[in-house]
Structure 1
Amino acid sequence: MAQVVRIGLIGSGFVSNFYMQGLQDVAGHEVRVVASPNAERCEAFAKRWGIPEWTTDVDGTIKRGDLDLIILGVPNFVHAELAIKCAQAGKNVVCTKPLARNKQEAKQMLDAVKAAGILHGYAETEVFSPAVMKAREFIERGSIGKVLMVRSREAHAGPHADWFWKKALAGGGALLDMGCHMVEAARYFIGKDNPIVEVLAWGDRLMHHDRTDAEDNAVLLMRFEGGQLAIAETSWTARGGLDLRNEVYGTDGAIFTDVTRETGIRVFALKGAGYIVEKGELDIGWLIPPIEEAWVYGYREEMKHFVECVAQNKMPRETFEDGYIVNCVLDAAYRSMETKRWEKVEY
C-alpha cells in the first residue's frame, strides 16, 4: 500500500491494548495520537506503545485534519455519541463490539455513517479469528455440506471493568457482552443472506447478585430463515479463564474451533508465571497459554483488514450494518427472556 493510514485511537483501556497488539505487525499505518478522558492512563498508554501524542481532548482528536481513521476502543455507553461525532466530522471510523447498547442506538450510528458517506467498520474479532476464517474456508469448499447447526460458547469469571457490571451503562449482561460474538459467528458460518428470524433466550443472575443488575449467564437459540439453528452459551461465572469455542455441523461433516483450551502448549508452574491469558485467574499450576493472543482472537486480522480498506477506500466486510443486525437479534433475545417464548427479530 502506498498510502500510510493515519490513525487516531480513542480509549486507553483493555480493548485498546489489544488493538495495539493487533496493529504491531500491520504495514501501512501509524497511530498518531491516543485520546482518553483519563490523563494518567492515557499518558502511560502512549508511552507503552510509542504513540507520539496523547490527549484528553477526545472531540478535538476526532476533528483533526491529519487523521484518516478513528478507532473507538471505548465503553458501550459512549459508542453512539462518539461514532456520530466521527460521522459528522467526515472521519472513517471503526467501533468495537457490541456496536451499541440496543438497536435504537445502533440505528442512529448506522444512519449517521451512511449519511456522511464514510467508511465504517464493526470490530467483531470472532469472524477475524484465523481458526474461524479457516472454518469458513471449509464451508465455502463444500467440505461439510450444507450447514445445519452452529453451537458457540464464550465464558469466563466476569468482566474486567466496573461499568460492564452496570446494565444501564453496558446495555446488558453476559448475553450482550459475549453473545454479540456468537450471533455474528453464526451469521458468518450459515450465511448473511439467510437472516435470523426468531430467537428464544434464557438469562439469569446465578452468582453476582451484589455486583450486577444484569444476567451473568445466558443461553440463546436463533432460528434462520432457511431453518438452521444456532445456539449461543455465555457465562460470567465460569472459572478457569476464557473459554471460547465453536461447533459447526453440516450434512456431510463438522468443524470445531477452540482457541483457548486447545492451544498446543501446556505449562505447569509452581512459581508465578505472570500474565497467561485474558480473564485468567491463576498463574500457577497447570496453565494453558494461547500463542499470540491478539492473533488467535482476531485482533490482528481485523486491524489489518480495516487499515487496508481505508488505504484502498473500500468498505470493510464487517460494517455498522452488521453491528446493527446483531443488536436487533439481541434486543429480541432480551424480550424473549421476559416473555419466555420465541420472539421475532425486528430489523
Structure 2
Amino acid sequence: MASVVRIGLIGSGFVSTFYMQGLKDVAGHEVKIVASPHAERSEAFAKRWNIPEWTTDIDGTIRRTDLDLIILGVPNFVHAELAVKCAQAGKNVVCTKPLARNKQEAKRMLEAVKAAGVLHGYAETEVFSPAVMKAREFIERGSIGKVLMVRSREAHAGPHADWFWQKELAGGGALLDMGCHMVEAARYFVGKDNPIVEVLAWGDRLYHHDRTDAEDNAVLLMRFEGGQLAIAETSWTARGGLDLRNEVYGTDGAIFTDVTRETGIRVFALKGAGYIVEKGETDIGWLIPPIEEAWVYGYREEMKHFVECVAQNTMPRETFEDGYIVNCVLDAAYRSMATKQWERVDYN
C-alpha cells in the first residue's frame, strides 16, 4: 500500500480547479506537478494550489517515474490521445467525463488500459455526489421497492469554454456534455447488471445559432433490459445557473435529489455577493449558493475514492468500462436524433 499517492495533474482549467477543490481535504496524496499547454495558466494554477512544479511538457509529465496517478482534466478532443499515452507509460489514470467523443475513441482507451494492466478511473461526478449516493443507499435498502423510472435534468445557459461549442472538437452538444452524467446516474440507480438496450432521442439548436453547430437542447429516453425507463433532459439555454436534479420512482416510493436549488441557504444581496454557483448569471437579489460545490457535485468523494484505490492497488468502482458504456448509449442517441426512431445500443 502506497503511503502517499503522487499525482500528476494534466490541465489547468475549469475541471482541474474542481479536482483540486475536491482533493484539498483528501488524505494520503500529493499533487507534484500540473502540466498544461498554456504556460501562464499552468504557472498561475500551480501558485494558486501550492503545487511544487508546473510545466508545458505533457508527454514528459506522463513519462515521469515518480508519479503514481495521472488525472486528465482536459478537453474532450485530447482524452483518447493522452489516456493511451498514460497506459503505454504504465501509469494509473483517471479521466474526466465524457470518457471520449464517441465509442470508437472510448474503446481505444479501454483497450489500452486493459492491455497495460493499469488502474483506470472514470471521473463521473454525479454518482459520487453525496445526495446521489444516499439515494442509492435507500434503493439498496429496498425503501422504494423496485425502481421503475428515473428522470434526471441538467441545465444551464451554456458552456464556459469555446471548444465546447464546436461539435467536431467536443464530439456533440448538450446531450454529450451533460447527458453523460444522466446515463451513468440511471445505470447507478437501476443497476449496472440491467443494461440499457434501446434509446429514443430528440435534440435541436433552439437558440445558440451563432455559437454552435451542435444541439443546445436534448431529451433522451432509455429503456433497460428489465423494462425500466430513464429520461434525461439537457439544456444549454436554461437561465438562472446550474439546475441539477434526479427523480427516482419505485413500486413503493420515490426519491428526489436537488443539489443546486435546495441547498439549505438563501442570500439576498443588493450590492453583489461575488461567486455563487457554477454557471451562475447574477450575484444580486435572492441567491441560492451551494454549501460547498466540490462536495455536493461529487468531486471530493470521487477524488478520495480514486486516491484510496491507487493506494490500495484496487480498481475503482467507476472505470473506463463504464465510460465506454456511456459513449455507446450516447452514440445510439445521436443515431436516434437523426432517424427519429428508437435505436438499439450496440456495445460491440
Q: What whole-Å deviation, never above 9, does each CA across 1:97-116 have from its counterpart, x for those lacking one?
A: 00000000000000000000
- Contact (CA 8 Å) 2:159, 2:236: kept in 1 or not? yes
In 1, the alpha carbon distance for the partners of 2:104 and 2:291 equals 38
Counterpart contact for 2:2–2:312, Cα < 8 Å: no
Q: Provide, for residues 73-128 of structure 1, a one-character-per-residue CA deviation record: whole Å limited to 9, x for no partner.
A: 00000000000000000000000000000000000000000000000000000000
Give the CA deviation at 1:305. 0.1
Distance in 2, matches of 1:155 and 1:346, equals 27
In the TM superposition, what are the counterparts of 1:312-327 in structure 2 within 5 Å?
Answer: 312-327=312-327
> Structure 2: how far apart are the matches of 1:58 and 1:274?
34
- SS state of the match for residue 255, structure 2? strand
Matched, 1:128 2:133: no
CA distance in 1, matches of 2:33, 2:189: 36
SS across alignment from 1:338 = helix
Q: Partner of 2:226: helix, strand, or coil?
A: coil
Q: Mark the runs of 5 or more structure 1 residues left unpaired by the alignment.
A: none
Q: 1:22 to 1:250 in 2, by over 3 A?
A: same
Deviation (angstroms), 1:272: 1.2
Q: CA deviation at 1:3?
A: 1.4
CA deviation profile, 1:248-302 (whole Å, cap 9, x unmatched): 0000000000000000000010011110000000011110000011000000000
Tell me how far 1:54 sits from its aligned partner. 0.1
Cα distance in 2, alignment partners of residues 93 and 74 from structure 1: 13
- Counterparts of 1:170 and 1:280, CA distance in 2: 22
Q: What percentage of residue pairs aligned between the two structures are identical?
A: 93
2: CA distance between counterparts of 1:3 and 1:71?
A: 19
Aligned length: 347
Q: Distance between the aligned counterparts of 2:261 and 2:290, measured in 1?
A: 8
Q: Is this contact kept in 1: 2:196–2:224, CA < 8 A? A: yes
The residue matched to 1:237 in structure 2 has which SS? coil
Q: What CA RMSD, in Å, does the superposition of the two structures yield over aligned residues? A: 0.5
Task: Name the TM-score, length of structure 1 as normaliser.
Answer: 1.00
Q: Which residue in 2 is equivalent to 1:163?
A: 163
* Cα distance in structure 2, aligned partners of 1:189 and 1:271: 42
Say if 2:28 and 2:307, in contact at 8 Å, map to a contact too: yes
Shift of 1:2: 5.6
Give the whole-Å Cα distance in 2 for the aligned partners of 1:217 and 1:286. 27
Q: 1:2 to 1:116 in 2, by over 3 A?
A: closer
Cα distance in 2, alignment partners of residues 130 and 205 from structure 1: 33
Distance in 2 (alpha carbons) for counterparts of 1:47 and 1:287: 31
Note the C-alpha offset of 1:179.
Answer: 0.1
Structure 2-normalised TM-score? 0.99
